[in-house]
Every structure is written in structure tokens, then in C-alpha cells.
Structure 1
Amino acid sequence: MQAKKDSLIVVSGGMDSVTLMYDKRDSIALALSFDYGSKHNARELAFARLHAERLGVEHLVIPLGFMGEHFHSDLLLSGGSIPEGRYDEENMKSTVVPFRNGIMLAVAAGLAESRGLKRMYIANHFGDHAIYPDCRAAFIRPMAEAIREGTTNAVLTEAPYTSITKTDIARIGVALGIDYAETWSCYKGGEIHCGVCGTCVERKEAMREAGIADPTQYEE
């Protein structure tokens, strides 16, 4: 029997959220993306839209322009240059967007409650934890509890990739038949992936460690 479509997913258009959308496709009624003023928003959103359409899922983009206008982060169009190097390097902390997941989850929770949806998914994963505090289990757990207690229909928040790596996610995606050429990771948001920013380096390593041929075109 087909599962009831009673869930929402926060989807950026990157590897992780696209994989989770296919992973949970049978229950997803709404794919929710945010335009918050990042350098790579336009690239990501195009792929979020593509996969939602392919799966026959309604796709909604919520503008959060105040973040790009008032918050400080090199990830934003209003910030400085995107640093190069691995995620675990000190310079990558400049790409933190303050409380980004908290804001997005709060909006998603209100939308889920308004739509009568019982569950929402977010695709944070273990590799994000080093520099992004709102990707850690220590944040997700109490945030999920606050959302459940603060919504009239007790919306559940599920983050099934919290304790796994991007390599693990890549393996899941390939098993699901996802073409990762149709996802976006690069923080610089150019015509093609730069190949040297933290998220490009992580993407390359995940593909290699998973034994997957990387379909991504890189500048370097």
C-alpha cells in the first residue's frame, strides 16, 4: 500500500537534500526551498525545482532576503570571498550563516502546521558538524522538541543523515539512481563548480571514497 504523502522536506538542491528527497519520496507532499541571498542560491534552486518536478512534488521557494541584507557571512552575496580549503579548516568558519537552519526550520514548521503535514525532513549530516553549530545533533534534538511542542498538530522533525557522512549519502544516492551532475554544491556559485572551496572538496572526497565516478565538472 502506498504511503500517505504527509511530509515536507527542506531541499536546497545540493547532494544531501536531493538524496533525502528521493529517499523519502513516497511520503513527501511539499519540497520547501529558501532564497536567502547566498552566492550559490540560484544554482541550487534550479536543481531543487528540477527534482521536485521530476518527482511530481509541489515546490515552494520562500524568500528570506533579510538574511542576505543584515547577517554577516562570506556565503552571502553581501559578504567577502569564499575561502578555499577543507571544511575542518579555521577559515571555513567565515561561511557560517547565523542560525540559518533554525530560521528555516521555524518557517518550515509553520508551513507544515498550516498544511496539516505531520512531519518534516532536513538533510544535515555529520560532515557539517565541525563548523556549523545548527547542523549538530545537539541543536537538532531540542529544536525538534520545540517544534513538536509548539505546533498544534505536533509536527515531527526528522534528520536521518545527522550521524552519517557525505560518503554514506553518496552511496545512498547512487543506489536510488540519482545523477549527481544534477545537484549543486559549490559555494562560489559560478558557471561550474570551482573544485577548491570546502564543499567542492568534500563533494570530490565523498564520490572518491564511495567508489563513484564523479560526474561534476570542476574548474580545478
Structure 2
Amino acid sequence: MTGHTPRHAVVIASGGLDSTTAAYWLADRGSRLSLLSFDYGQRHRKELDFARRIAGHLGAHQEVVDLSGLGRLLSGSALTDPAVRLPDGHYTAESMRATVVPNRNAIMLDIAVGMAVARGADAVAFGAHAGDHAIYPDCRSSFFDLFAETAKAGNEGFLADGFEVLAPFIDLAKADIVEIGRQIGVPYQDTWSCYRGGEVHCGRCGTCTERIEAFSLAGVEDPTEYARAGAEAAR
């Protein structure tokens, strides 16, 4: 986790646990925030409503970028293609490869960097963590380091002084993130993780399974409402 405190950070904000904690972590350190959310045709676009809630709690400006056409172009993922079955179970299971959206983080980060340059922000932040690494190649340190170099090279002469691309949790487990959030008062009841996007969290999909485990391992009370059958199956 970086020791530098950005003056103004553009945070990729999904409305989920990780990105919300990253936003609160930066706000706690005194950074001004701009939240950047994406509608990329995801079946759980309900998360955007929760990102809006978080922006309200933080008093931060939020932009929502319409990339819904990507759902058609990036077919083959259970998150964007209704023909692909959404798997249940833990992130590390082979079946969870079906939830990979090709190049998603690179696309979002590129837009975030462009917004940061245009608005004079000195940081871009996203909430990737160590638990994502096994399945998602664009959540790994190797990708992050190369992207940060590319962003700086591609905008040389236009970046704010000290500009950084931050992934403060990239080496942490999700339980560690929950504990950080507990310490700084993240309202986890106002975050959304479930890939199914129903009325309540299903308790069975990969993100629900990971969320339940993270609160349990951190010893933090989970404020999430899960569908009964799903919660019992996940536990």
C-alpha cells in the first residue's frame, strides 16, 4: 500500500466491496475523489445504483460511462452474454473463468487515466486484490506495473506532478480489505457484489461466496442480505 496521498484521485467505482473500500481509504487520507463507473452491459448493472449511493455518502462527483455496446463485442463472458451460464462457487474454481470479461480493467483504466489528465488529477485508483489474481489476468501485479508505465509514457508532459496509478490492495486478501473498511467506517450494507443482480445477493455466485468468506475470516459482521437458499449453500 502506497505511502503517498494523492491530492485528487479518480477511482474506478463499481459499487462493490473492494472499490468502495479503496475510495474510503483515499478519502480517509484526505484525497479529493472523482468516482468513475461503467455500464458495460453487465447483467449485474444494479451495482451502479450502489456506486451512486457511495458517491453520495462521500460527497464525491460520479461519472457513469455508457459502454453497454461492449456486451455485444465482448461476448463469451457470463457477465455480458446471457447465453453463458453464470457459475456458482469459489473464484479459484476452473468454472469461474466464464466470468472473465476480456481486457475489462485495461479499458476502464485507460478511460480513468484520460479523465485524470483532463481534470488535473494526480492519481487513478482501482480495487484489485490478491484473490483476483488466479482468474483475472488484468488484476495481477505484472499487468498493473506495465499499465502504470504505459499510462505515464502515453501522457508524458500532460500528467499532474507525482501522478500515480494506484492499486492499494493488490497484495492483500479480501478479508484484509474488509478489516481496513471496518476501521475506517465503510458502509458495506450499501455495496453490491452479486453477479446475478437480483433483489438480494444470491449467496452462491463467485463474488457472493468470496464476500461471505471475507467477512467470516475478518471476524466482521456481514450486513449483507442473502437469498436464504444461496446463503446456506455458500456457507
TM-score using structure 2 length:
0.89
Q: 1:8 aligns with which of 4, 7, 10?
A: 10
Q: Does 1:177 align with 2:179?
A: no
Q: CA RMSD of the aligned region, Å? A: 1.3
Identity %: 45
State the alpha-carbon separation in 2 of the partners of residues 4 and 67 from structure 1. Answer: 31
4+ residue stretches of structure 1 with deviation over 2 A? none
Cα offset, 1:51, TM superposition: 1.2
Q: 2:198 aligns with which of 190, 196, 199?
A: 190
Unaligned runs of 5+ in 2: 231-235
Cα offset, 1:180, TM superposition: 1.2
Cα offset, 1:169, TM superposition: 0.3
- Which runs of structure 2 are paired with 1:204-215 in the superposition (5 Å)? 204-215=212-223
State the alpha-carbon separation in 1 of the partners of residues 53 and 81 from structure 2. Answer: 24
Cα offset, 1:16, TM superposition: 0.4
Q: Which position in structure 2 is the counterpart of 1:128?
A: 132
Which residue identity is paired with 1:143?
F
Q: 1:36 touches 1:67 (CA, 8 Å); kept in 2?
A: yes
Deviation readout 1:143-170 (Å, 9 max, x if unpaired):
0110011112164201010000100000
- Which runs of structure 2 are paired with 1:159-178 in the superposition (5 Å)? 159-178=167-186
Which residue identity is paired with 1:104?
M
Cα offset, 1:79, TM superposition: 4.2
Q: 1:33 touches 1:60 (CA, 8 Å); kept in 2?
A: yes
- Which runs of structure 2 are paired with 1:18-29 in the superposition (5 Å)? 18-25=20-27, 26-29=30-33
Structure 2 counterpart SS, 1:204: helix
CA distance 1:216–1:153, shift in 2 (3 Å): same
Q: Which position in structure 2 is the counterpart of 1:143?
A: 147
State the alpha-carbon separation in 2 of the partners of residues 31 and 59 from structure 1. Answer: 5
Q: Which position in structure 2 is the counterpart of 1:200?
A: 208
TM-score using structure 1 length:
0.95
Which residue identity is paired with 2:43?
K
Which residue identity is paired with 1:39?
R
- Which runs of structure 2 are paired with 1:34-73 in the superposition (5 Å)? 34-41=38-45, 43-72=46-75, 73=77
Cα offset, 1:77, TM superposition: 4.8
Unaligned runs of 5+ in 1: none
